[in-house]
Structure 1
Amino acid sequence: MNYRPLSKTSLRISEISFGCMSLGDDHAANKALLHQAFDRGINYFDTADLYQGGFNEETVGRAFAGMRDKVIIATKVGNQLRADGSGWDWNPRKEYILQAVEASLRRLQTDHIDLYQLHGGTIDDPIDETIEAFELLQKQGKIRHYGISSIRPNVIREYCRRSHIVSVMMQYSVLDRRPEESCLELLQRHQIGVLVRGGLASGLLINKPAKTYLAHSAEAVEKASAAVQRAVTGDASKTSVALGYVLHHPAVTSAVVGIRTDAQLTDIVEAARHTTVSESSWQELQQSVPQLVYDQHR
């Protein structure tokens, strides 16, 4: 497994990391899978207080109790669950963030969170107030660093300009190249690490039957999948090529992949050994389908 520095921090995270949202509802099974991932080189684990109503954070905390200093844990905040269980509401206010972090710390069984991320956001948020909350938590030692999870260019620009974020999580793949239009270069220029989600496009690039995806037709999805297959060489796989595509961009720090089973973990870890994509293959993958652009939140 290769490791990359996250922005200008001292954190070095595995270039393939574990998206914990995919975990099930059995603590013992989750612990076994998470420990297998750690034993095979994955050191970065991404969760959120929203996932399974907090159970996801709890299961991650239980799994790594007693070895907290060996793993890098990221979680997210901003979606406030309703007391009646009917859903959640967006809440980026300082008061709520300062309360929510305490619950996350308890569930994760830790005194600090390595990366605390705003789980969404709009340009109409009280951005300065949100930043103030993160900065205060950092000074208190409750979080080491903070970032955002967003695909919105206007939001990303504001956080680049007004905050000390070290990361942006965003969807990016051969089938979703919207970040290439403006965000990736901007983040690279500001030395802010990109954490990629959706690098396999819900499996459409590797093993799922073609269907419409974003604005792409099923036929376009099939072309992209075929291009991924053509780029496979030696011991590489479609998984390694698809993840290698996003890792090829210098702005990207890690591809966060949802893992549910031992078989998926084996596939992902093996793929991590062969993620180098040649420049010619990368360009061919780029040209396999038209590039989409963000038509909102610009």
Structure 2
Amino acid sequence: MFKRIFYSLQEGIVDYRQLGTSNLKLSVIGFGCWAAGAYGWGDVRDNESIAAIRQAMDLGINFFDTADVYGRGHSEEVLARALGNRRKEVIIATKVGNRWSADGTRIWADLSPKYIRRAVEDSLRRLKTDVIDLYQIHRPDPQTPVVETMATLLDLVKEGKIRYIGTSNLSPDQLREYLSYGQVVSLQPVLNLFTRYSEVQLLPLCREKTVGVVVYSPMAMGLLTGKYNKPVSFKPGDFRTMNVLFQGKNFERNITVVKALKKFANERGYSVAQLAVAWVIAHPAVTSAICGAKRPGQIKETAGSFAWKLTHDELIEIDRIVASAA
């Protein structure tokens, strides 16, 4: 039996951490709304996404991350519907810079001032809000100078359309460049037990510069939930088909690792998904781990990660398990 320990905001037990140099205090577990866009994630239904978001709020989760590219804006619309009149209770983060072609067949990077101006108005409308708490660049745009992108974002802060500027998918040098032009309060890198390159330079840099870290894919796109007992084939267009973790021998090896991690977690009364998230939020540089959910039960389980404070010995054993299958 897993320890289903869930804390509500009213009880005052849920962890909250300050995001970088901002005055935002994020729940250590954030809710990721990528799947709510209902594109590239298999069977996703709006009513279940809405129920999951509302349950997350009831559990004390106050940080919701989306992007204009998710489902061509549909994710933002679903989030707005779910929040309803509870908008002031939460921190909304969305992203700009991944632009769909008119026919919806391709995506390219665009952080030009003209596009940002248009995109922020579209996001404000879809989110049904007057201000976006955290507006993040989704990925670098090699065609637009960073100085132009930052000047536009800083103007949006002055105009009251966004509160803070965040970044995502940057290298250490790229992050330094963004910081040189003004206040950047966060970076969103991938971090999980299978993908750890950000630990080498990015996370130490964020600690040095007081940049908040909101991690995406802490459960490795579902791989660390333990739901795969053997490799499976995904439908064409599913995002997991493009991830090396789900390909060939990698997939087989990773499933073996997850089974061992599951045994380790179960022996301590937790699920492997809770282990995966607990491991991420144990990192001293991490502010919040963004966890996706297609339906209510999933986010309820994830919330149990709050309760597991991994010891030094447990962290060492987890590393050993992951390395043993290399």
Q: TM-score, normalised by structure 2?
A: 0.81
Q: How much has 1:210 moved relative to structure 2?
A: 6.0
Matched, 1:209 2:229: yes
Q: Choose 260-269 or 183-192, whichever is displaced more.
A: 260-269
Q: Which amino acid aligns with 2:229?
A: P
Q: Which amino acid aligns with 1:209?
A: N
What are the ranges of 5 or more consecutive residues in structure 1 without an aligned counterpart?
Answer: 291-298
Residue in structure 2 matched with residue 277 of structure 1 by the alignment? 310
Query: SS state of the match for residue 257, structure 1?
Result: strand
Residue in structure 2 matched with residue 293 of structure 1 by the alignment? none
Residue in structure 1 matched with residue 84 of structure 2 by the alignment? 65
In 2, Cα distance between equivalents of 1:11 and 1:278: 28
Q: Which amino acid aligns with 1:195?
A: V
CA pair 115-213 structure 1, distance change in 2 beyond 3 A: same
CA pair 225-148 structure 1, distance change in 2 beyond 3 A: farther
Q: How much has 1:99 moved relative to structure 2?
A: 1.4
What are the ranges of 5 or more consecutive residues in structure 2 without an aligned counterpart?
Answer: 1-13, 39-43, 232-243
Deviations along 1:235-274, whole A, 9 cap, x unmatched? 3332222111111111101110110012212211223332
The match for 1:11 among 3, 13, 24 is 24
Residue in structure 2 matched with residue 99 of structure 1 by the alignment? 118
In 2, Cα distance between equivalents of 1:227 and 1:237: 9
- The 8 Å contact of residues 170 and 189 in structure 2, kept in 1 or not, is answered as yes
- The 8 Å contact of residues 48 and 296 in structure 2, kept in 1 or not, is answered as no
Query: SS state of the match for residue 17, structure 1?
Result: strand
Residue in structure 2 matched with residue 258 of structure 1 by the alignment? 292
Q: TM-score, normalised by structure 1?
A: 0.88
- The 8 Å contact of residues 140 and 170 in structure 2, kept in 1 or not, is answered as no
The match for 2:179 among 149, 157, 160 is 160
Deviations along 1:141-186, whole A, 9 cap, x unmatched? 1101011111533322322344311111111011111011111000
Residue in structure 1 matched with residue 73 of structure 2 by the alignment? 54
Query: SS state of the match for residue 34, structure 2?
Result: helix
Q: Choose 176-185 or 145-154, whichever is displaced more.
A: 145-154
The match for 2:107 among 88, 95, 98 is 88
Matched, 1:267 2:301: yes
The match for 1:245 among 261, 265, 279 is 279
CA RMSD of aligned residues (A): 2.4
Q: How much has 1:115 moved relative to structure 2?
A: 0.3
In 1, Cα distance between equivalents of 2:267 and 2:139: 38
Matched, 1:119 2:138: yes
- The 8 Å contact of residues 110 and 141 in structure 2, kept in 1 or not, is answered as no
Deviations along 1:180-230, whole A, 9 cap, x unmatched? 111100001111111111111223333123666289833365236524642
Structure with more relative contact order (C-alpha pairs < 8 Å, separation 6 or more): 2
CA pair 151-210 structure 1, distance change in 2 beyond 3 A: farther
